[in-house]
Amino acid sequence: MATIIYISLAFLLIFCVMAVMSHSLLKSAIYLALASATLGVILYVLGAYWAAVIEVSVCSGLITVIFISAISLSKIKKEEVQKLYSDKKRMWFLPVMLIVVGVALIVLALANDLSLTNTAEKVTEDFREIFWNTRQADIIGQIVTILIGGIAVFVLFRDDEDKK
């Protein structure tokens, strides 16, 4: 299990960094989707099946769609984007920083013998039961959030009555 996780973590990190550093928005979105998918793998390996499914479907699916539609709505030429934002140039420091921080963290952890350990035995519980029975507040929140999403689409994307 650990091996898969290590490999997935490496991919996850790489995809994330690529998403950040890529000078093309489209590529960024795709890298992000890939990162989501990798995350889904990790979640699955850890035993969070439901979460993994949702992650893969929603994050790497829905959000990518939203992105791509937003990107396509903004009709700027690719070269122009690069010239205007020059993200690649501005982001070069990121990998260096990440490596430094990563090494530092590992050294610190090793030096002080710090590591995370499981605090409790795994409890067998049904996700659905928990979600529906004990997370009512969250569900209300989710409903309302989705409601707001609808209203937001209604309010923000409609083209008529533009000015107050």
Q: Rounded to the nearest whole angstrom, what is the least distance from the CB of residue 68 to another protein in the complex?
A: 10
Q: Rounded to the nearest whole angstrom, what is the least distance from the CB of residue 44 to another protein in the complex?
A: 10
Q: How far apart are CA 59 and CA 142, in angstroms?
A: 16
Q: How far apart are CA 79 and CA 106, in angstroms?
A: 40
Among the listed residues 79, 96, 111, 119, the single contact to another protein using CB under 8 A:
119
Under the binding rule (CB under 8 A), the answer on residue 97 touching another protein is yes
Under the binding rule (CB under 8 A), the answer on residue 154 touching another protein is yes
Under the binding rule (CB under 8 A), the answer on residue 7 touching another protein is no
Retrieve residue 115's tokens.
Answer: 């590591």
How many chain residues are in contact with another protein, going by CB under 8 A? 99
Contact partners, residue 81, CB within 8 Å, separation at least 6: 23, 24, 25
Query: Measured from the CB atom, is 79 or 148 closer to another protein?
Result: 148
Under the binding rule (CB under 8 A), the answer on residue 131 touching another protein is yes
Rg (CA), the chain: 21
Burial 67-84 (b: 16+ CB within 10 A, else e): beeebeeeeeeeeebeee
Kind and range of the H or E element at 46? helix 25-46
Under the binding rule (CB under 8 A), the answer on residue 121 touching another protein is yes
Under the binding rule (CB under 8 A), the answer on residue 88 touching another protein is no
Q: Which of residues 47-76 bind another protein (CB under 8 A)?
A: 47-51, 54-55, 58-59, 62-63, 66-67, 69-71, 73-74, 76
Query: Measured from the CB atom, is 79 or 118 closer to another protein?
Result: 118
Q: Which amino acid is at 50?
A: W
